[in-house]
């Protein structure tokens, strides 16, 4: 007879893939390698060292140090980030690849949206210093840097609604 026995492990913290766009129409992508060392570690269900990179996270090029040439999450307001990820002109676009665990083991290639229309409130940027980095909705300052001809970076043309 069929049955269900609930395990004694307990509930797990739910997480899933972030959606940052309403449509996949007219979007353009490029490929980059994310430096695993730039994604903050989290403790999920008591397990430390988990690294999750959500789609919709703004990525910036690393211009100095051992990870130069790769990308990592853009960090706004950081005074202790000196590898280029804190500079608006180094933004390459918005991450499209969901990485729920891979960055805990290695650097990973991702698709990055550099042209299209996205939902600003659904996009993510890191804020604060490295020791206390938090994720939050994309700020107006960062969104303005990613828009059209006035963009701080000439290779990105994202419109936010």
pLDDT at residue 5, as a whole number: 62
pLDDT at residue 79, as a whole number: 73
Which residues contact residue 35 at a Cβ distance below 8 angstroms, ignoring those fewer than 6 apart?
Answer: 62, 67, 70, 71, 72, 107
pLDDT at residue 149, as a whole number: 47
pLDDT at residue 145, as a whole number: 82
Per-residue pLDDT of the chain (161 residues; tens, 9 = 90+): 566 665 555 666 767 889 999 888 889 999 999 999 998 888 887 888 889 999 999 999 999 999 999 999 998 877 777 888 888 889 999 999 999 889 999 999 999 999 989 999 999 998 876 666 778 888 888 888 887 544 555 678 788 87
Residue pointed to by tokens 């990055």: 112
The 3-state DSSP class for residue 55 equals coil
**What does the angle CA 140 – CA 145 – CA 146 come to, to the nearest 5 degrees?**
100
Distances (CA, A) of 154 to 20, 93, 146, 150, 158: 22, 11, 9, 8, 11
Residue pointed to by tokens 């789609």: 55
């Amino acid at each position: 007879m069929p049955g269900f026995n609930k395990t004694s492990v307990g509930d797990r913290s739910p997480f899933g893939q972030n959606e940052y766009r309403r449509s996949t129409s007219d979007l353009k992508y490029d490929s980059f390698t994310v430096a695993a060392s730039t994604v903050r570690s989290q403790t999920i269900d008591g397990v430390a060292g988990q690294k999750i990179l959500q789609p919709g996270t703004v990525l910036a090029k690393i211009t100095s140090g051992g990870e130069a040439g790769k990308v990592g999450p853009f960090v706004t307001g950081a005074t202790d980030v000196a590898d280029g990820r804190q500079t608006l002109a180094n933004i390459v676009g918005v991450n499209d690849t969901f990485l729920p665990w891979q960055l805990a083991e290695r650097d990973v290639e991702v698709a990055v949206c550099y042209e299209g229309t996205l939902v600003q409130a659904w996009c993510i940027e890191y804020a604060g210093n490295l020791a206390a980095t938090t994720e939050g909705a994309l700020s107006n300052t960062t969104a303005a840097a990613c828009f059209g001809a006035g963009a701080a970076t000439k290779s990105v043309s994202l419109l936010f609604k």
